[in-house]
Structure 1
Amino acid sequence: MDRPADLGEFLRTRRARMPPEETIPAGGSSRHSPGLRREEVARRAGLGLTHYIRLEEGRHHDAPPAVLEAIARVLRLDDGERAHLYRLAQPDEPVPDECTGQGVRHLMGGLKGMPAVALNHRHDVLYWNPLGHALLACHLDRDSPLSARHRPNLSRMLFLDRRTRALYPQWADEARRMASCLRLASADHPQDGRLAALIGELAESDAGFAALWSQPPVRTRAFGTRLFRHPLVGCMELAFENVEPPDEPGQQVLVFSAEPDTASEKALSRLAARSAWREEPLSQPPDR
C-alpha cells in the first residue's frame, strides 16, 4: 500500500462527491470539477491551505487527531471512512504503553479460581491472570498483552476470530452488547484515532457489526451472567462483574466466578488445573 498516494486519492474522491449546490461560489461562476476545492475544505476545517495541500499530497505525516476530525466533519465521512482516514494519515502512530498498576496485577493474581481480565475503553487486553487467559483465549499466546502493538482486543476477537465466536453459545447477544459498548466509548473518546480505526476495521470486515453499529447504544450492566462453550472443559454459566480500579482511570477489570457446587464450578476448576503458566499455550482439539 502506498499510503501517501492512497491518502491523496481518498481525500480527492471525498471532496468530489460533495453535493454541487454546496460548492457553487456566491458569484455563480462555473466550476470545472465537481465537489469542494482544496481551499474550501481548508477554510471550512479551519486549516491553512498549505497545510491541507501537504496533507493531500502525502507530504505531512502524523496529522493530529483534531485536524483529521475537522476534515472528517467537512467531508461528512461516516465511521468507516473516518477510521480509514486515520489509518492512512497516521500509519506510524506510536502505540501508548498502557498497563495496569502493580496493585491491580497483584489483586488479579490473587483471585484463585476466578478468571480476570484488565481492559481499556477499546477492550484491549492489558493484563489477564492465568485463568482469564485460559477462559477467553487459550488459543493465543499468554504473553500477548505484554506487546503494546499486538495485544489482543476482545472486540476484534468477538467479531473476527472464529474460535472466540464459538466460545459464546449466545453470540448474538454478546455481539449486540459489544457493539453498544464501542458506540458509547466512541462518544466518550471522540479524539481516539485507534478506537476509530478499530471500529472502521470491524465495520469493513463484518457486515453484522455494521448493522449493529447503526442501532442506538444501550448502557450495559456492570454485572450479570454469561454462557461459555469452552473447547477444553465444555459448557459453563459464569457470573461476571466489571470493576473500575480507582487508581487506573479508563480501565476496567472483568472478573468471572461460578456458583458453588455446580457443574460450572467443576468445569472451571478443571480449567484452572490446566491454566498454570507454562512454556506452551494450552493444548486443545485440532481445527476441523
Structure 2
Amino acid sequence: MNGTSQLGDFLRSRRSQLLPDEAGVPTYGERRRVPGLRREELAMLAGVSASYYARLEQGHSLGASPEVLEAIAQALRLDESERRHLHDLARSAKPRSRRRPAPELVTEPTAQLLDALGDIPAIVIGRRSDVLAWNRMGHALFAGHLDPGAPEVPAERPNMARLVFLDAHTRDLYADWPGKAKAVVGNLRLVAGQYPQDSALHTLLGELSAKSEDFASMWADHRVKACAVADYEMRHPLVGSLTVMQQTLSQGPGPGIVVATTAAGSPSRAALDLLAQAVTQAVARTAPARPDSRLSTG
C-alpha cells in the first residue's frame, strides 16, 4: 500500500459513486457504460484540465495544491472526513512528507481519567484500534469474555477491529453489526491515510482482508468516516438489550478514550446499572480475604 495508489483509488471510487444527476451534469439520455461521472466531467466541475486530473488519478502528478484538492473535493461533494482524507492521501504520496508513527502509550492523565470515570464504561483505543487500557465497566460491556488483564500485555492486547470482524461474541453484541463494521472500516481508512508508513497497520489490514470477506468488501468501497459519536443498540449476554452512545474523547494526537453513556431514566441506564452491580459483586467474590483487625493480640 502506498500513498500514490491510495489517492488514485480513492478518487476513482468517489467519482464512480457520484451520479451525473447528483452533480448537475446533463446526460441527454445517452447510454453510459458506468453509472458515475467520467474523468473529463469531474475535471470540468473542478476547473482543471482532463489530462491533469487523469494524471492525478494515475499517480503521475503528485504536486496538487491545497486549492486544487479543495476544488476536486467540492466537485466530488465530499464531507469533512472525506476532505481531510483526500488531503492526507495527497501528502502521503510525497516521499518527503512521510512520517513514522510514534509508539502509543497510556499517559498518567489518561489513566487518571479512566479511573475517574468509575461506572461509565471506557476503553483507551490506539490509532490501529488496539485496546491500550480499559476500566472494569469498559471490559464488562465491550469484552467481558476476554481476560481483564489483556491490555496490559502488548502482545496480547485486544484489537477492536479484529473483535468486530473475527470474534463471534462481539459480532453478536451489536444489533446493527453492519453499521458498526462500516464505522470501524471508515475510521481505519482515515488512519491509513494519516500513517502510510505504519507497517503494523498494514499487517492488520492484510489479516482482516484475508480472514473476513465482509472486511475485504467494505475496505474496497473506500468509504471514510470519523467515529466520534454514534448510537448503538447492544445485546449484552448478562443484562440484555441496551442502547449506548459511544463517544471518543480525544486528548490531542495520542490515543482516545471511548466512553459509553445511556439516557437518564431509560431502560438502557437501568441495564447499565445492573451490569455495574454484577461487576461489583464479581470483584468482591474474587478479592482476597482481609485479616480480621478485631482479633486480640494479647
| Superposition TM-score, scaled by structure 2 size | 0.59
Is the contact made by 1:236 and 1:267 (CA closer than 8 Å) also made in structure 2? yes
- Residue 197 of structure 1 aligns to a residue whose secondary structure is helix
Q: Give the Å deviation of 1:269.
A: 0.4
Matching residue's letter, 1:266: A
- Residue 141 of structure 1 aligns to a residue whose secondary structure is coil
- Residue 110 of structure 2 aligns to a residue whose secondary structure is helix
Is the contact made by 1:144 and 1:151 (CA closer than 8 Å) also made in structure 2? yes
Partner in structure 2 of residue 250 of structure 1: 254
Whole-angstrom distance in 1 between the partners of 2:238 and 2:187 = 29
Query: Is 2:113 aligned against 1:107?
Result: yes
Query: Is 2:275 aligned against 1:271?
Result: yes
Q: Give the Å deviation of 1:226.
A: 1.3
Extract unaligned runs of 5+ from structure 2. Answer: 1-92, 94-101, 287-298
Q: Give the Å deviation of 1:275.
A: 2.0
Q: Give the Å deviation of 1:139.
A: 0.2
Query: Is 2:158 aligned against 1:152?
Result: yes
Is the contact made by 2:190 and 2:226 (CA closer than 8 Å) also made in structure 1? no
Query: Is 2:258 aligned against 1:262?
Result: no
Q: Give the Å deviation of 1:105.
A: 1.2
Matching residue's letter, 2:122: A
Query: Is 2:196 aligned against 1:190?
Result: yes
Matching residue's letter, 1:234: G
Matching residue's letter, 1:220: A
RMSD of Structure 2 on Structure 1 (CA): 2.1
Q: Which one of the candidate residues 99, 116, 124 is aligned to 1:118?
A: 124
Alignment of 1:1-288 (within 5 A): 98-246=104-252, 249-276=253-280, 278=283
Whole-angstrom distance in 1 between the partners of 2:207 and 2:246 = 28
Whole-angstrom distance in 2 between the partners of 1:245 and 1:183 = 21
Is the contact made by 1:184 and 1:217 (CA closer than 8 Å) also made in structure 2? no
Mean CA deviation greater in 209-218 or 196-205: 209-218
- Residues matched between the structures, number: 185
Label 1:224 to 1:145 Cα distance change in 2 as closer, same or farther (>3 A). same
Q: Give the Å deviation of 1:220.
A: 2.8
Label 1:280 to 1:118 Cα distance change in 2 as closer, same or farther (>3 A). farther
Is the contact made by 2:104 and 2:255 (CA closer than 8 Å) also made in structure 1? no
Mean CA deviation greater in 189-198 or 215-224: 215-224
Q: Give the Å deviation of 1:150.
A: 1.1
Extract unaligned runs of 5+ from structure 1. Answer: 1-72, 74-95, 282-288
Is the contact made by 2:127 and 2:255 (CA closer than 8 Å) also made in structure 1? yes
| Superposition TM-score, scaled by structure 1 size | 0.61
Matching residue's letter, 1:258: T
Could you list the structure 1 runs, at least 4 aligned residues long, displaced by more than 4 angstroms after superposition. none
Matching residue's letter, 1:278: V
Matching residue's letter, 2:171: R
Is the contact made by 1:113 and 1:257 (CA closer than 8 Å) also made in structure 2? no
- Residue 190 of structure 1 aligns to a residue whose secondary structure is coil
